[in-house]
Amino acid sequence: MKKIVVAIDGLSSCGKSTMAKELAQYAGYIYVDTGAMYRALALFGIRNGWITPDAINGEALEKQLDRVHITLKNMDKGLQHVYLGDEDVTADIRTLAVGDAASRVSTLKFVRRELVRQQQLMGREKGVVMDGRDIGTVVFPQAELKVFVTATPEVRAMRRFEELKAKGQTTDFQTVLADVCARDERDSRREESPLRQADDAWLLDTSNLTREQQRTILFDKFDARLQAFL
């Protein structure tokens, strides 16, 4: 059976990770959450004191980059665990502070060069669903299926807010909305691989779609695309 590469890009909290995970399960492909890799690196920087809320010590981080070993392990039921060395950091990387640090660290050229290299290795055999910001434009510009997912900032902030609440993290909606908007701004305006829709990507706006609808639309698209490559 021929396998393809599926690149799913989009703004934060637009539902792309859930869709990518479900599609990977449906297709029997490997799921790669590239945002988790930037988050794990950010956590490493925070723990070592090289990333603070105000600054990043890029020099120290670059020197230590080969000490960072990030692994994504696909578990049962489409779950993915993220490891920093031997430590399972799956939960630790999901805080607002780490998300913010990840967004800042992902603007650094040497960081992108290294993580893109690792992502290209992960997908070289195809049969992957990779989600991120630059998958269809930089990591796999030849991906057979490229999806660009969007939703309004309010819808995305509400999803994020509900997620954080469910995890017991106390915050208020306005803070999450401000954070979502700040991240949009940074992800879209940075010099290195800014988030943008690839010319040949299919646009999927999830603002008014249920999860079930998102899933159905995406699976249909995948099946049609796969047929075209058989």
Comparing CB distances to ligand DC, the nearer of 100 and 144 is 100
Euclidean distance between CA atoms 41 and 44, whole angstroms: 5
Taking alpha carbons only, the member of 65, 73, 72 closest to residue 44 is: 65
Q: Return the residue of 15, 45, 99, 123 that touches ligand DC, per CB under 6 A.
A: 99
- Using the contact rule CB under 6 A, the part of the chain among 60-68, 75-83, 100-108, 164-172 near ligand DC is 100-108
Residue 107 beta carbon to ligand DC: minimum distance, rounded to whole angstroms:
8
β-pair partners for 204: 149
Quickly list DSSP for 58-98: HHHHHHTGGG--EEEEE-GGG-EEEEETTEE-TTGGGSHHH
What one-character-per-residue DSSP string does 153-183 give?
Answer: HHHHHHHHHHHHHHTT----HHHHHHHHHHH
Residue 84 in the binding site for ligand DC (CB under 6 A): no
Query: Which residue of 61, 132, 161, 204 would you call a contact of ligand DC, by CB under 6 A?
Result: 132
CB of 125 to ligand DC, least distance (A): 20
Please state the separation of Cα 39 from the chain's center in Å. 9
Neighbours of 158 (CB within 10 A): 17
45 in contact with ligand DC (CB under 6 A): no
| Binders in 133-192 for ligand DC, by CB under 6 A | 133-134, 183, 187
Measured in whole angstroms, the distance separating CA 77 from the mean position of its chain's CA atoms is 19
- If the CB atoms of residues 35 and 45 are measured against ligand DC, the closer one turns out to be 35
Q: Which of 22, 27, 32, 38 binds ligand DC (CB under 6 A)?
A: 38
Region of 30-38, 56-64, 141-149, 162-170 interacting with ligand DC (CB under 6 A)? 30-38
Q: Which of 7, 70, 103, 147 binds ligand DC (CB under 6 A)?
A: 103
Question: Looking at 127-135, 141-149, 153-161, 163-171, which segment touches ligand DC (CB under 6 A)?
Answer: 127-135
To 10 degrees, the CA torsion angle through 124, 127, 133, 137? 60
Binding footprint of ligand DC on the chain (CB under 6 A): 12, 34-35, 38-39, 99, 102-103, 106, 132-134, 183, 187
